[in-house]
Amino acid sequence: MAKLSDSDNLHQHISKQYDHELIDIRSRVLSLGGLVEEQIEAAVKALVDGDVELAQRVIEDDGKVNSMEVSIDGECTQILALRQPSARDLRLVVVVIKTIIDLERIGDEAKRIARHAIDLKSNSARESQLTELERLAKHVRGLLRAALDAFARMDVDAALKVVQDDKLVDREYESIMRQQISNMMEDPQSTPVCLDIMWMSRSLERIGDRSCNICEYVIYYAKGKNIRHISIEQVEKDLQVE
C-alpha cells in the first residue's frame, strides 16, 4: 500500500510539474509579447523625437527578443519530447511554437523602424508625415495588445475582433502610401524621406498582419480549427453554427 501511495504521489507530482510547465510557456509568451510591444513603442518614439540613442538601444535589445524566442522554443520541444502532450495541451504547445515566431518577427520590424529612424534623423520628415505614422503605430500597437490579451485569455471573440480591426489599419496604411507617392511626384527631392516613411508604414502594417496570425492561433487552440485562408465572415458564420 505504501508503494502505491508513493506512486500516486509521484504521479501527482509529475502532473503538477507538467501543469506548471504549460502555465510557464503561456506566461513567457506574454513576457515576450510585452518586450516586443516596448520595442515598437521605443522605435516610434525614437523616430518622432529624433532620438538616435534610443533607436540604437532598440536595435541592440532585439538580441533579448531573439534569445527569449529561442529559449521558449526549446522549452516547447522539451515538453513535446518528455510529456507527449495530447488534445488541448498539444494544441497549446503548437500554438506557442507558432506565436513566438510571429512575435520574434514583429521584433525584427521594430528593429527596422529604429534603423529608418536613424536614417531620417539626417534627412527630415514633415511634421504631418510623423503625425500620421505615429497614429498608425498607435493603432497597430493596439492590435498587438489586443492579440496578446486574446492569447492570455484564449478568447475567440476578442481574437475575431482583432482580425476585423486590422482592416481599418490596412486602410490607414494605404492612405499613407498614396500620400507619399504624390509627395514624391510633386517634390522629387523628398523621395528618400518619403521612402523611409513608406518602409516604416509597411513594417507597421506587417505587425498588424502578424497580430492577426496570433489571433488565428488562439482560435485554433480554442476551437481546434485552422482558420487561416478563410474569410472572416465565413469564420464568424462557422463559429456561430457550433
Q: Which residues contact 43 (CB under 8 A, 6 or more apart)?
A: 55, 58, 110, 111, 113, 114, 117
Q: Does 228 interact with a second copy (rule: CB under 8 A)?
A: yes
CA distance 132 to 138: 10
Give least dist CB 128 to a second copy, A: 19
Which cell is 182 given? 504624390
Binder of a second copy out of 4, 188, 233, 242 (CB under 8 A):
188
**Which of 49-57, 124-132, 139-147, 222-230 is the region at the interface with a second copy (rule: CB under 8 A)?**
222-230
CA distance 14 to 125: 58
- Strand, helix or coil for residue 224: coil
Q: Does 101 interact with a second copy (rule: CB under 8 A)?
A: yes
The mark string for 158-187 relative to a second copy (x by CB under 8 A, - otherwise) is -----------------------x--xxx-
Q: Does 20 interact with a second copy (rule: CB under 8 A)?
A: no
- Asked if residue 131 lies in contact with residue 197, where contact means CB atoms within 8 angstroms, the answer is no
Binder of a second copy out of 35, 97, 152, 232 (CB under 8 A):
97
**Does the CA dihedral 218-224-228-232 come out positive or negative?**
negative
Kindly list the residues in this chain that would bind a second copy in the complex (CB under 8 A).
Answer: 63, 66-67, 69-70, 73-74, 77, 80-81, 84, 86-87, 90-91, 94, 97-98, 101, 181, 184-186, 188-189, 191-192, 195, 226, 228-229
